[in-house]
A and B are shown apart, each in its own frame.
Chain A
Amino acid sequence: GAVVSQHPSWVICKSGTSVKIECRSLDFQATTMFWYRQFPKQSLMLMATSNEGSKATYEQGVEKDKFLINHASLTLSTLTVTSAHPEDSSFYICSARDPLRVGTYEQYFGPGTRLTVT
């Protein structure tokens, strides 16, 4: 089945620094990837849609200068949290759609990255 990986699985950083999270589709090429954040015991909130070779589409209320998304290849999207602050601490999850199975609308999720900003 389709596998999506994330790296790192957890990261601790100091306030004011930037952190990059990688999302890779391992056995398929993903023209579209999605980024979500999840607070403890809460739901996933869609942050942005990452499109290979073009600018990401951000959901309302998500700061594009704060959360930089780069989808430079068909298997890799990155999310950079710039000038991180403690309120950015969260669980970040990516997902991807397999373009060969677009009609199924199924998304394949990575295992998530736990970010803690001190």
Chain B
Amino acid sequence: SQQGEEDPQALSIQEGENATMNCSYKTSINNLQWYRQNSGRGLVHLILIRSNEREKHSGRLRVTLDTSKKSSSLLITASRAADTASYFCATVVSTLGRLYFGRGTQLTVWP
């Protein structure tokens, strides 16, 4: 079953702008991950944030986690046309490591 729900479902911005995507989930988690998928392709891991962390950075990516609200956000700063893709959050609820994905946000960055 799907754990996460992304918001918005689609986001369209200009190059140079920041893109913010939100994710909500339903149960307690071990960690939350963000993945990127280019059209019709496999997924690429972007960043992982553990349940005891509140914020994490990786290059132009910033992820926050609020376990009290069961929500996370992904911020991509200074977006580029090459960032155009679908972005999914996925939760891990146990050490077995199974991923449960949200519906995703389709990001389009116009040059």
List chain A positions with a Cβ less than 8 A from chain B: 4, 6, 32, 34, 36, 41-46, 49, 59-60, 91, 93, 95, 97, 102, 104-112, 114
B59 at the interface (CB under 8 A from A): no
Interface residues of B in 82-108 (CB under 8 A from A): 88, 92, 96-104, 106
Which of B45, B48, B101 lies in contact with A43, CB distance below 8 A? B101
Chain B residues within an 8 Å CB radius of A110: 42
The residue of chain B having its C-beta at the shortest distance from the C-beta of A108 within the complex is B45
* Count of chain B residues near A, Cβ 8 A: 25
- In this assembly, does B60 line the interface, its C-beta being within 8 Å of a C-beta of chain A? no
The number of A-B residue pairs with CB atoms under 8 Å apart is 62
Whether B43 is near chain A, meaning CB under 8 Å from some CB there, is: yes
Given A105-B97, A107-B97, A109-B43, A42 and B48 touching (CB < 8 A)? no
Complex: how many Å from CA A76 to CA B46?
A: 25
In the bound complex, what is the Cα–Cα distance between A114 and B100 (angstroms)?
21
Q: Determine the distance from Cα of A111 to Cα of B56 in the docked complex, in whole angstroms.
A: 27
28 contacts between A and B (CB under 8 A): A32-B97, A34-B98, A43-B88, A43-B101, A44-B43, A44-B101, A45-B2, A46-B99, A60-B1, A91-B40, A93-B42, A93-B43, A97-B97, A104-B48, A105-B30, A105-B31, A105-B33, A105-B92, A105-B97, A107-B45, A107-B99, A108-B45, A109-B35, A109-B45, A111-B41, A111-B42, A112-B41, A112-B42
CB neighbours (8 Å) of A59 from chain B are 1
Q: A107-B97, A112-B40 are in contact. List 4 more A-B contacts (CB 8 A).
A: A43-B101, A44-B88, A59-B1, A106-B45
